[in-house]
Amino acid sequence: MTAVHVPGIPIIEAGQLVSTNPATGVEAGRLPVASDADVRQAVDRARVAGEWWAGLGFSGRRARLLRWRALLAKRIEQLADLVHAEGGKPVADAIVEIVTAIEHIDWAARNAGRVLGPRRVRSRLILAEFSGHLEYQPHGVVGVIGPWNYPVFTPIGSAAYALAAGNAVVLKPSEYTPAVGQRLVDSFAEVVPEQQVFTAVHGLGDVGATLCRAGVDKVAFTGSTATARKVMAACAETLTPVLIEGGGKDAMIVDSDADLDAAAEACVWGGMTNAGQTCIGIERVYAVDSVFDTFVDKVVARAGQLTVGPEGSDIGPITMPKQIEVIRHHIDAAVASGGRAVLGGPTAVQPPYVHPTVLVDVPEDSAAVREETFGPTLTINRVRDADEAVTRANALPYGLGGSVFGRRRAVAIARRLRSGMASINSTLTFAGMSTLPFGGVGDSGFGRIHGEDGLREFGRAKAITRRRARSLLPSMTFERTPTDMARLVKAIKMMYGR
Ligand code: NDP
């Protein structure tokens, strides 16, 4: 019997995972589903490949990773077309996503040696007769589990850094975007044909669960907070370290001295790019009373001009069909509890599309304010001042990113946001800055990808001491004498006893 294709819903047909475009239902990818044994074999093969890859050293890996990013750059249009075909994302959004991913590969390749390579560290007066050496060695095999909403940027945010650090990577792409995941590993194999350093295993969530238990040395998970809890539980069985990039409900604060045109433009983009299906997307806005009305008018004017549709539009279909009911519920509940739709509203939900929706005066306990909506929707609420905005922004268990528009107080406000990242007078920009770490707090996860912290996330600190002289105050030996100990006590009192 042939399974029925419902647009956007992945199915398994004759042992193959089939992905389809959420707007048209046209098949986008067909990849073999990995059995438990396949996943374990992939990890075993990756372990062998990883030893070879680690042996190339930083310069050997850098050369190959730079060739990979060159290949992706040359073929950027083809990859963007596939991202569009599989997830429905507008091609322009896909291009921006891939550009960002390429930038991260480039930075990770060029900087891994400097950040992770062997170096001397200073010793102090205590143990001055030893020199200190530090390096970050690869974990071995890193399992990367990725979501569908940024099927290039999110896996590469972990994989490029893990590879640059000398690890092999086994990727489990989302069941909604397996073809994009496979394209990434295939392109890598073109420039690194010798060994299977970066491979993919496909299937539903159970394949991800198997990967966590297949002997990987670290798991880098990007996805929802609910799945993150399962991943951590699975990894706890073997004390496998995990990195969690979870969900978010990012807030934007518009202060009284903000440039309101710039704020409105960035708010609409930050909230509605990729149809709002962005972990660091702006979902709620707190605008201070004095600028609230003008700001809302400007947002509505801009968001109202966005085009919605399958091709060449600003907003494409909702990738995961079941999310449409979540979006519908959030809008309906917000309106039922006293919120007002100043753009869109309940009628904006027209599967597989959701038209831009701006809700104001939504109660703070409403799902539209507290839970991930993942649609082209914004709540904008009025606050007395920036202090109240910060209190409300920080009231959720999530803490991924955030944005502040303003002048005098903007930096102070950004620092007070309970989040791993914030952008001032822009939205989402921290994601593209490869020199900055990316990650959240609370329900948004822990650990960091990108930047120097992102490289260190995929290396194990290895500390080495080396004797370079005889000990003047021997203490870590049974050869020590009472006189040695008395001199040590005297020295420590002189050094630290004041
Ligand atoms: P999910 O948590 O549903 O899935 C993420 C990945 O985990 C998928 O590959 C999924 O496979 C896999 N998976 C499912 N069950 C398990 C399991 N038991 N063990 C191991 N892996 C499993 O997230 P979505 O794909 O829906 O992605 C959207 C979410 O990702 C949002 O919450 C968003 O905020 C978050 N996200 C966070 C980012 C960040 O950097 N913090 C960036 C981008 C998105 P399958 O698809 O086959 O079910």
Question: Residue 79 is encoded by which pair of tokens?
Answer: 């990859």
What are the φ and ψ backbone dihedral angles of 48, each rounded to 5 degrees? -65, -45
Question: Residue 32 is encoded by which pair of tokens?
Answer: 């073999």
How many angstroms is it from 31 CA to the middle of ligand 1?
A: 19
Q: Which of 200, 206, 196, 192 is nearest to 171 (CA)?
A: 200
Q: Residue 264: its pLDDT value, please?
A: 98
How many angstroms is it from 45 CA to the middle of ligand 1?
A: 25
Nearest CA to ligand 1 atom 25: 147
Q: Rounded CA gap, 260 and 294, in Å?
A: 8
Question: pTM of the prediction?
Answer: 0.96
Which residue(s) pair with 143 in the sheet?
A: 170, 219
- Check pocket membership of 321 for ligand 1, CB cut-off 6 A: no
Q: Which of 273, 265, 250 is nearest to 149 (CA)?
A: 273
DSSP collapsed to 3 states, the chain:
CCCCCCCCCCEEECCEEEEECCCCCCEEEEEEECCHHHHHHHHHHHHHHHHHHHHCHHHHHHHHHHHHHHHHHHCHHHHHHHHHHHHCCCHHHHHHHHHHHHHHHHHHHHHHHHHHCCEEECCCCCCCCEEEEEEEEECCEEEEECCCCCCCHHHHHHHHHHHHCCCEEEEECCCCCHHHHHHHHHHHHHHCCCCCCEEECECCHHHHHHHHCCCCCEEEEECCHHHHHHHHHHHHCCCCCEEEECCCCEEEEECCCCCHHHHHHHHHHHHHHHHHCCCCCEEEEEEEHHHHHHHHHHHHHHHCCCCECCCCCCECCCCCCCHHHHHHHHHHHHHHCCCEEEECCHHHEECCEECCEEEECCCCCCHHHHCCCCCCEEEEEEECCHHHHHHHHCCCCEECCEEEECCCCHHHHHHHCCCCCCEECCCCHHHHCCCCCECCEECCEECCECHHHHHHHCEEEEEEEEECCCCCCCCCCCCCCHHHHHHHHHHHHHHHCC
How many angstroms is it from 241 CA to the middle of ligand 1?
A: 18
- Check pocket membership of 148 for ligand 1, CB cut-off 6 A: yes
From residue 251, alpha-carbon distances to 17, 343, 372 in Å are: 36, 19, 12
Nearest CA to ligand 1 atom 42: 279
Q: What dihedral angle (degrees, nearest 10) is formed by the CA atoms of 68, 73, 77, 78? A: -10
- Check pocket membership of 149 for ligand 1, CB cut-off 6 A: yes
From residue 172, alpha-carbon distances to 71, 154, 169, 392 in Å are: 22, 12, 10, 36
- Check pocket membership of 150 for ligand 1, CB cut-off 6 A: yes
- Check pocket membership of 210 for ligand 1, CB cut-off 6 A: no
Per-residue pLDDT of the chain (498 residues; tens, 9 = 90+): 344 578 999 999 999 999 999 999 999 999 999 999 999 999 999 999 999 999 999 999 999 999 999 999 999 999 999 999 999 999 999 999 999 999 999 999 999 999 999 999 999 988 999 999 999 999 999 999 999 999 999 999 999 999 999 999 999 999 999 999 999 999 999 999 999 999 999 999 999 999 999 999 999 999 999 999 999 999 999 999 999 999 999 999 999 999 999 999 999 999 999 999 999 999 999 999 999 999 999 999 999 999 999 899 999 999 999 999 999 999 999 999 999 999 999 999 999 999 999 999 999 999 999 999 999 999 999 999 999 999 999 999 999 999 999 999 999 999 999 999 999 999 999 999 999 999 999 999 999 999 999 999 999 999 999 999 999 889 999 999 999 999 999 999 999 999
Nearest CA to ligand 1 atom 43: 279
- Check pocket membership of 174 for ligand 1, CB cut-off 6 A: yes
From the CA of 444, give the closest atom in ligand 1.
41
Q: Rounded CA gap, 199 and 183, in Å?
A: 10
Nearest CA to ligand 1 atom 41: 245
How many angstroms is it from 355 CA to the middle of ligand 1?
A: 24
How many angstroms is it from 225 CA to the middle of ligand 1?
A: 8
How many angstroms is it from 156 CA to the middle of ligand 1?
A: 15
Query: Quick check: 178 and 186 in contact, CB under 8 A?
Result: no
Q: Rounded CA gap, 498 and 478, in Å?
A: 29
Q: Are strands 282-288 and 377-383 parallel, antiparallel or unpaired?
A: parallel
- Check pocket membership of 29 for ligand 1, CB cut-off 6 A: no
How many angstroms is it from 226 CA to the middle of ligand 1?
A: 9
- Check pocket membership of 245 for ligand 1, CB cut-off 6 A: yes
From residue 467, alpha-carbon distances to 122, 124, 470, 480, 487 in Å are: 13, 13, 8, 17, 21
**Cβ neighbour number for residue 218 with a 10 Å cutoff:** 23
As to burial, measured by CB atoms within 10 angstroms (0-12 exposed, 13-18 middle, 19+ buried), residue 98 is buried
- Check pocket membership of 420 for ligand 1, CB cut-off 6 A: no
- Check pocket membership of 242 for ligand 1, CB cut-off 6 A: no
Q: Which of 86, 145, 154 to mutate to test the pocket of ligand 1 (most atoms within 8 A of CB)?
A: 145
Q: Which of 227, 243, 396 to mutate to test the pocket of ligand 1 (most atoms within 8 A of CB)?
A: 227
How many angstroms is it from 123 CA to the middle of ligand 1?
A: 44
Q: Residue 473: its pLDDT value, please?
A: 85
Q: Which residue has the tokens 């060029």?
A: 110
Q: What angle do CA 217, 219, 225 make, to 5 degrees?
A: 155
From the CA of 320, give the closest atom in ligand 1.
26
Q: Rounded CA gap, 461 and 158, in Å?
A: 18
Q: Which of 172, 174, 225 to mutate to test the pocket of ligand 1 (most atoms within 8 A of CB)?
A: 174
Q: Rounded CA gap, 212 and 219, in Å?
A: 7
**Cβ neighbour number for residue 385 with a 10 Å cutoff:** 13
Sign of CA dihedral 354, 360, 366, 369: positive
- Check pocket membership of 224 for ligand 1, CB cut-off 6 A: yes
Q: Residue 194: its pLDDT value, please?
A: 97
Active-site residue list: 245, 279
How many angstroms is it from 145 CA to the middle of ligand 1?
A: 7
- Check pocket membership of 12 for ligand 1, CB cut-off 6 A: no
